[in-house]
Amino acid sequence: MDTACKECGALVAQPAVDREHQYYCPRCDAMLYRSGQEFHYIILMALSSIILFFPAILLPILTLNIAGMEQSTTLVEAVWSFFGDGYTFIAVLVLLSGIIIPFLMLTLILMILIPIHYGVSPRKVATLFNLYEHLTEWSMGEVYLISILVAIIKLQKMAMLIIGEGFFLFIAFLITMYITMVWFNPHDIWHQQKSDDD
């Protein structure tokens, strides 16, 4: 009995580092331990995701054609439209949750794992963990993706639509980002630290 469930407060045994099994709270069924992946795999996956990020947000996701007039949009330009209409708050919110925070999540994972991989104490990067956990809720890349689909359906009656490279790259970015986040288990870092001390 050396830890407690974060969701209901029940005292439970500390699960050991395990690459295969999940553990749940006996009282409230909260996930106590999620199996993670080796750090070097996570670092590589995060790097590939970061490579996909820039073309994904800078290449056109959709091109609209009405009566011979063409208009392309990238994910970044969609945010500017709120600035253009004078809605700074929503522009910042959309920019943060749809673009900046998903990218930040990956850079945080790298900033946490690379130093630890080279033997830096996890305590030195503890504030980054804290930030990472708080930001998870505000990372809305997948919501942005589904909104592109909704916009496509809304616009298809109005005009001819061509789906651009940015759209497919954004999907690839989100998939690699999710694999990275699922593999990344902050818990393992503390546990390794603990066994180093023993």
Token pair listed for 12: 């439970």
Q: Is 54 in the site for other proteins (CB under 8 A)?
A: no
What's the DSSP call for residue 13? Answer: P
Reading across the β-sheet that carries 62-66, which strands appear in turn?
Answer: 69-73, 62-66, 160-163
Near other proteins by CB under 8 A, which window of 39-47, 49-57, 82-90, 168-176? 82-90
Q: Which of residues 171-190 bind other proteins (CB under 8 A)?
A: 187, 190
b/e per residue 133-160 (b: at least 16 CB within 10 A): eebeeebbbeebbeebeebeeeeeeeee
- 71 contacts 64 by C-beta, under 8 angstroms: yes
Q: Which is nearer to other proteins, 119 or 158 (CB)?
A: 158
Residue type, 130: N
Q: Is 169 in the site for other proteins (CB under 8 A)?
A: no
What's the DSSP call for residue 157? Answer: T
Q: Is 122 in the site for other proteins (CB under 8 A)?
A: yes
By CB under 8 A, name the one of 20, 119, 154, 198 that touches other proteins: 154
CA gap 141, 180 in Å, rounded: 14
Q: Is 196 in the site for other proteins (CB under 8 A)?
A: no
Contacts with other proteins by CB under 8 A lie at: 2-4, 6-11, 14, 26-30, 62, 64, 66-67, 69, 71, 73, 77-82, 84-87, 89-90, 93-94, 97-98, 122-123, 126, 129-130, 133, 137-138, 140, 143-144, 146-148, 150-151, 153-155, 158, 187, 190, 193-194
